Structure 1
Amino acid sequence: MVAVHGRVRVWEVFGVVILLLWWKAQGLVKLPENATVPAVLMLGDSIVDTGNNNNNPTTMARCNYRPYGKDFEGGIPTGRFSNGKVPSDILVEELGIKELLPAYLDPNLQSQDLLTGVNFASGGTGYDPLTPKLAAAISLPDQVELLRQYKEKLKALVGEERSDYIVSNSVVFVVAGSNDIANTYFLSRARQLQYDVPAYTDLMATSASNLVKDLYEAGVRKVGVLSAPPIGCVPSQRTLAGGIERKCVDTFNEAAELFNSKLSKELASLNDELPGSRIVFIDVYNTLLDAIINHDKYGFKVGDRGCCGTGKIEVTELCNHLTPTCDDDSEYVFWDSFHPTEAAYRKLIPPVLATYISQFF
């Protein structure tokens, strides 16, 4: 983790400003007039993790090895759960902020990166407190604590007033829910004995609401919470519970839809409860579902299998340097049996961002 001592030098600030202006010129998403996004902060799971689990020896939710990252810069596996960039990177790129959103726990993190945003996400985590324990991941409340640490480091760089400005004007994204539904609930007999699906989705929605409140107390004002995806149509879930024909698992998707409905209502009420906040529910369920079912419409040839191995079950340690990969991952919606390809993210993220960006202002 970066260690910050004293204030950043003037020439360093100048260099960051020049770089920021250059990236602003590259940004593709049009912001409302007079609106600015100084930084992006990310909380969540493996969909958006950019390497925070790399140095955690207790978790299996790591992918800092080949063939992960085969299409990343130099073919380097960085801990991103894909063949290349993940939504965290594409969001900052589309907003014109910078090229990549670095992991906060990256030992090579540069102090200048704090000015434009970092990533606290941890593969394997979720809204249910049990989920990160099962995966030995960083819980969402602990990710908020990392954000508080980040804010103190930022204050040491640029002073309290500028630090408060950056945090309150940044867009903070939260991506979670898949692991709760697919793993903690449907793979855990204990959770099913404790809760039926309506009660479990209540637990998830309440946890998400409390997380947003914690972010607000930390000085965050703009929060985008992404919906749970159609987890029943992810290749691994089709294989495990979709029968011989590997169909989408309706019970999983129905749980995700129920949670999304409750989450949307919870977030809407928080806008009234938290003065000056802009809390936005971002639906990715329908967009991803359409890309999976109607993959040819998006220019993909395969929507029900990943590129790694058979594409039906391989993920994290089962997708390794000995595992063969498909000839052209740009033809696949999924990279492994759980995570989409960079090509899919590049088709899906920009229009979703363009749809919701105005709601943050």
Structure 2
Amino acid sequence: MKFLSLFSFPTPLCKFFFTVIIIIVIFVVYNGATANKLPVNETVPAVFVFGDSIVDPGNNNHVKTIVKCDFPPYGRDFIGGMPTGRFSNGRVPSDIVAEIFNVKKLLPAYLDPNLQLQDLLTGVSFASGGAGYDPLTAEVVSVLSLSDQLEMFKDVIGKIKATVGENRTEMIVSKSIFIVCIGSDDIANTYYTTPFRKPHYDIPAYTDLMAKSASSFLQSNNTSERGKGSVRPGSKKDRSGEFASNRVCAIPEDTEWRHSKRVSRASQPSSKTFQLQALLSNEFPQQEISGSKACLL
């Protein structure tokens, strides 16, 4: 399991105190073993993405929240010059990752009403702008939490299995790329902008909470891929419809994080990692991506 980090910009609110860290977790599993590069004659069948606005291709268009970007000037450099719900003037990083591995040029939103079965077979994004590792981050702005996104993934696996059978589903999941890009909203929004966390956590304690949540999410995801185990309960609303905007902001008890394991370290980045950096630099020339560091936690 590999962890790729891109160190991003400091926010105006606290630029003298910290640098927002955007964590992108990419893990590719082949027959139970982690690989740095694709074996000969191997391909990636699908890309599945969890996260926030950095990789949200339009899920928030179908969620009752103020966190939206389905209006100009968003999308001005996209195909047709139309806004798609991506928090970008063009594509988002998850689209580029899917293209790098020759899956498809655009990774669709899971909540897109025009989604087809073939889209599920080759991957979708469950990401929701405004989400975070801290469950409270998504609650504050009424977007899809990581728990919501994980349950959507379970729905997708069920649909794929019903269509192509269990054996092919296991093959797709075992050889797919999974991306988790999330965390900046926890620091910039929940911690520094709202009054809910700062009185109870200093930065080291809060980032520790985030890390434990990340570890718990990855463990739940691995369990879901095997088709057994349970997931922390999220929204029970129909994923094909609108989500309620009157969610209650609840602070999780410490016991929710107590038994989570620390995120493990991984080996050196593959050539695909540096290819990703180069493509991101070309795709977003006016952003400081070329100066970002790629490293593993």
Q: TM-score range by the shorter chain?
A: 0.5 to 0.7
1:170–1:220 CA contact under 8 A, matched in 2 = no
CA RMSD, Structure 1 to Structure 2 (Å):
3.1
More helix per residue: 1 or 2?
Answer: 1
For the 8 Å contact 1:51–1:80, the answer to whether it is kept is yes
Q: What is the count of residue pairs matched by the alignment?
A: 220
Q: Equivalences for 1:110-189 in 2 at 5 Å? A: 110-189=116-195
Is the 2:212–2:263 Cα contact (8 Å) retained in structure 1?
Answer: no
Q: Which has the higher contact order (CA 8 A, sep 6+)?
A: 2
Deviation per CA, 1:97-118: give whole Å up to 9, x if none: 1111000110001111111111
Aligned with residue 105 of structure 1, among 104, 111, 120: 111
Partner of 2:209: 203
The normalised TM-score by structure 1 is: 0.55
- What residue is the counterpart of 2:287 in the other structure? 333
For 1:313-324, list aligned pairs within 5 A: none
> How many Å apart are 1:161 and its aligned residue?
1.2
Residue 92 of structure 1: which of 98, 112, 115 is its match?
98
Query: Aligned pair in 2 of structure 1 residues 280, 117: CA closer, same or farther (>3 Å)?
Result: farther
Gaps of 5+ in 1: 1-28, 222-264, 270-278, 292-297, 300-328, 335-343, 357-361
The offset of 1:332, in angstroms, is 2.1
Other-structure match for 1:250:
none
Mapping of 1:219-258 within 5 angstroms? 219=225
CA 1:155–1:129 in 2, change beyond 3 Å: closer, same or farther? Answer: same
How many Å separate the matches in 2 of 1:105 and 1:139?
A: 14
Is the aligned partner of 1:212 residue 2:218? yes
Instruction: Judge conservation of contact 1:168–1:220 (CA < 8 Å) in 2.
Output: no
Q: Which runs of 5+ in 2 are unaligned?
A: 1-35, 228-260
1:267 equivalent in structure 2: 263
Determine helix, strand or coil for the equivalent of 1:163.
helix
Work out which of the residue numbers 58, 66, 74 in structure 1 matches 2:72: 66
Deviation of the 1:163 alpha carbon: 1.0
1:172 and 1:220 in contact (8 A); partners too: no
- SS of equivalent residue, structure 1 residue 42: strand
Calculate the TM-score normalised by the size of structure 2.
0.67
% of aligned pairs identical?
51
Which residue of structure 2 lines up, in the alignment, with residue 45 of structure 1? 52
Q: 1:30 to 1:69 in 2, by over 3 A?
A: farther
- Secondary structure of the structure 1 residue equivalent to 2:76: coil
Q: Distance in 1 between matches of 2:154 and 2:196?
A: 34
Cα distance change of structure 1 residues 280 and 171 upon mapping to structure 2, 3 Å threshold: farther
Tell me which residue corresponds to 2:243. none
How far apart in 2 are the matches of 1:281 and 1:83? 32
In 2, Cα distance between equivalents of 1:216 and 1:108: 28
**1:91 offset after TM fit, Å?**
0.4
Cα deviation for residue 201 of structure 1 reads 0.9
Deviations 1:227-249 (A, max 9, x none): xxxxxxxxxxxxxxxxxxxxxxx
